[in-house]
Amino acid sequence: MQTAAGYITDVSYLPGFYPNMAPVLLRYAATLNRIAPPSAERVRYLELGCGLGRVFTTLAAADPRGEFVGVDVNPHHTAIAERDIAAGGLTNARAVTADFANLPHDLGQFSFIALHGVYSWVAEEVRSQILAVVERHLAPGGLLLVSYNAMPGWAHLQPIRGILRQYAVLRQGDSLQRIRDALAYLVYIRDKHARYFTDNPRAAAYVDSIKSLDARYLAHEYLNDHWTSFYFADVAGTMGRVGLDYVGSLPVHTNFWDLCVLPEFQELFRTTSNRLVTEAHKDFCANTAFRWDLYSRQPTPLATVEERLARADDLCFGLGNPDQRLPHTANLGIVTSTTTGALYETLLDILRGGGRPLSAILSDRALAGVAPAAVAQAVDAGVATGLFEVTNHPLPAAGTVPDAPLKVVLPFNRALLAADILAGRPIALASTLSGTATPISDLDAAFIHELTHGGRAGMVERMDRRLNESGRGIERDRNPVTDPAERTELLTQAADAVCATLVPQLVRKGILAAAE
Residues that bind ligand SAM (CB under 6 A): 4-5, 7, 13, 16, 49-51, 71-74, 77, 99-100, 116-118, 121-122, 126, 220
Please identify, using beta-carbon distances, which residue of 99 and 489 lies nearer to ligand SAM.
Answer: 99
Contacts of 276 (CB under 8 A, 6+ apart): 232, 233, 236
Q: Give the CA angle between residues 295, 300, 304 to the nearest 5°.
A: 115
- Smallest separation, CB 71 to ligand SAM (Å): 6
Q: Do residues 58 and 88 touch, judged by C-beta distance below 8 A?
A: no
- Smallest separation, CB 70 to ligand SAM (Å): 9
d(CA 474, CA 463): 11
d(CA 238, CA 174): 35
d(CA 183, CA 361): 53
Q: What is the DSSP string of 319-360?
A: ESSTT--SSEEEE-SS-EEEE-SHHHHHHHHHHTT--EEHHH
Pairing of the two strands 67-72 and 93-97: parallel
- Smallest separation, CB 85 to ligand SAM (Å): 16
Please identify, using beta-carbon distances, which residue of 228 and 492 lies nearer to ligand SAM.
Answer: 228
Q: What share of the chain is helix, strand, coil (3-state, %, to 5)?
A: 50, 20, 35
Please identify, using beta-carbon distances, which residue of 59 and 118 lies nearer to ligand SAM.
Answer: 118
Please identify, using beta-carbon distances, which residue of 121 and 232 lies nearer to ligand SAM.
Answer: 121
Q: Do residues 13 and 175 touch, judged by C-beta distance below 8 A?
A: no
- Smallest separation, CB 471 to ligand SAM (Å): 26
- Smallest separation, CB 490 to ligand SAM (Å): 32
Please identify, using beta-carbon distances, which residue of 116 and 291 lies nearer to ligand SAM.
Answer: 116
Q: Do residues 254 and 285 touch, judged by C-beta distance below 8 A?
A: no
- Smallest separation, CB 443 to ligand SAM (Å): 22
- Smallest separation, CB 186 to ligand SAM (Å): 20
Q: Is 216 exposed, middle or buried (0-12, 13-18, 19+ CB in 10 A)?
A: middle
Q: Do residues 513 and 402 touch, judged by C-beta distance below 8 A?
A: yes
- Smallest separation, CB 5 to ligand SAM (Å): 5
Residue-wise over 389-420: b if at least 16 C-beta within 10 A, else e?
bbbbbbbbeeeeeeeeebebbbebbbbbbeeb
Please identify, using beta-carbon distances, which residue of 71 and 421 lies nearer to ligand SAM.
Answer: 71
Residue 248 DSSP SS3: strand
- Smallest separation, CB 74 to ligand SAM (Å): 4
- Smallest separation, CB 493 to ligand SAM (Å): 33
Please identify, using beta-carbon distances, which residue of 118 and 507 lies nearer to ligand SAM.
Answer: 118
Please identify, using beta-carbon distances, which residue of 220 and 509 lies nearer to ligand SAM.
Answer: 220
d(CA 505, CA 399): 9
Sign of CA dihedral 105, 141, 259, 316: negative
d(CA 101, CA 512): 42
- Smallest separation, CB 73 to ligand SAM (Å): 4
Report which of 120, 119, 212, 126 is spatially closest to residue 161, judged by C-alpha positions: 120
- Smallest separation, CB 119 to ligand SAM (Å): 10
Please identify, using beta-carbon distances, which residue of 5 and 107 lies nearer to ligand SAM.
Answer: 5
Contacts of 410 (CB under 8 A, 6+ apart): 61, 88, 429, 430, 432, 511
Sign of CA dihedral 333, 116, 266, 325: negative
